[in-house]
A and B are shown apart, each in its own frame.
Chain A
Amino acid sequence: MNAMLKDAADRPGPPLAARDLGHGYEGATVLRGIDLDIAAGSVLGLIGRNGAGKSTLLRALLGLLEPTTGETRVFGKPALAMDDGIRQRIAYVPQQPEALAWLTVAQMFDYLGRFYPRWNHAFARDTLARWQLPANKLFGKLSPGERQRVELVRALASEPELLVLDEPAAALDPVARRELLREIALRACEAGITVVFSTHIVSDLERVASDIAFLHQGRLLLHCPVDDTKERYARLWLPARLGPHAPASTLGRRSHADGSVSVVIERDAHGRWPDEAAQPGVRLDVLGLEDLFVEIAE
């Protein structure tokens, strides 16, 4: 713990930062103009529809692909030029891990244990058993779900300061998922680690995230503390006759078949809703994260 605090003092920059990050494949733009600072100790949940660019963003943040515009930094260093010292402080679990397919799980962990200075052997052994993972099977012979679980154990056992998980919930049953969330919560509490994870299971994010980022069509629409999503935003529904009196909204506007309109509104700096919300006949709904997401992303 003291060693980690000392590391923190030496650390020159935030765990992750992106400036004007853009990326594209074969003429199609996947990410555009992403500015993002992820503070030490935060747990950021990244949410977006399939194809919104979540995996690409995570990979670009870690320097695993070269952006077409802008740059990303990991602990203050350019992500594309990380040294081993920084690599040892990071753990990343992609959706479809491929690494070291020719080793058994036990051999792989033995090998990794020598690379990572803080490798936690007991945690690795116990969690493999609890998540019913065969230590003596070749990694390449495991099912995709098993591979991702092994990679999650690997990532946690390396005791990282920055943990990046791409859709970690997909490979886990509800019990193991809860266990992973608990592990994230406790480590954020005790070791002060920074976590970034993408998910489409919004309730996981609501439990454990301190901050949330909405990625939509390659743009970052929202990045704020998770409580703000419930306290600062709401949905205003206006009947057809009041449709023209809807406040101008940048976050989301939907017209319904009966002519009524719903918009996502935001409190101003004094905590007040726009004046239009006080008109008789309109309805103000405080939204859970999932509903807010649907309103914005549709």
Chain B
Amino acid sequence: MDASLLTIQPASPEPIYRQIVEQLRRLIAGGQLGAGDLLPSVRDVAAFHAINPMTVSRAYGMAESEGLLERLRGKGMAVAATVRPTQTQTQRLALLEPQLQALVRHARELELPADAVLRRLGRLLED
């Protein structure tokens, strides 16, 4: 994997380390990154995007503790051998969590009852 595959938006309300983890999750779930693929070094990512190296370390550490990445001695970080592109339904659902939470927040702001929102969502999903 190359550092240029990541997109960093410094002005986003989402901290940069979370942006990196989120992209790794999606790249792995989508199969663009496979088990054993090497990740760019912290230095390479920090240099390419001109971001603080501690931010990159934090993202890698978080992805490692989630089981997405593993540290290979002498080679750096790699996609964990146990990771498969076809994840379980629960894992794929977890990727939707931020959008679902945003939906809940908007619904509350608009003071919409839950059943009305669920009915509409159900119809959209059936289409």
Contact = CB atoms under 8 A, between A and B. Distances in A.
A195 to B, nearest CB: 10
B10 A281 contact: no
B97 interface: no
Interface in B98-113: 105, 108-109, 111
Contacts of A137: none
Contacts, number: 71
B109 A208 contact: no
A173 to B, nearest CB: 15
State the majority secondary structure of interface residues on A: helix
Contact of B50 (A202, A208, A231, A280): A208
Given A186-B47, A281-B111, A283-B109, A202 B11 contact: yes
A284 B58 CA distance: 26
B50 A210 contact: no
A190 B13 contact: no
B13 A210 contact: no
State the majority secondary structure of interface residues on B: helix
A162 to B, nearest CB: 17
Contacts of B72: none
Interface residues of B, number: 25
Interface in B41-57: 42-43, 46-47, 49-55
B49 to A, nearest CB: 7
A208 B14 CA distance: 15
A281 B53 CA distance: 40
Interface of B: 8, 10-17, 42-43, 46-47, 49-55, 58, 105, 108-109, 111
Interface of A: 43, 178, 181-182, 185-186, 188-190, 202-204, 206-210, 226-227, 230-231, 280-290
Top 9 closest pairs, chain A to chain B, by CB: A189-B53, A206-B10, A181-B50, A227-B15, A286-B13, A182-B50, A203-B10, A207-B10, A185-B46
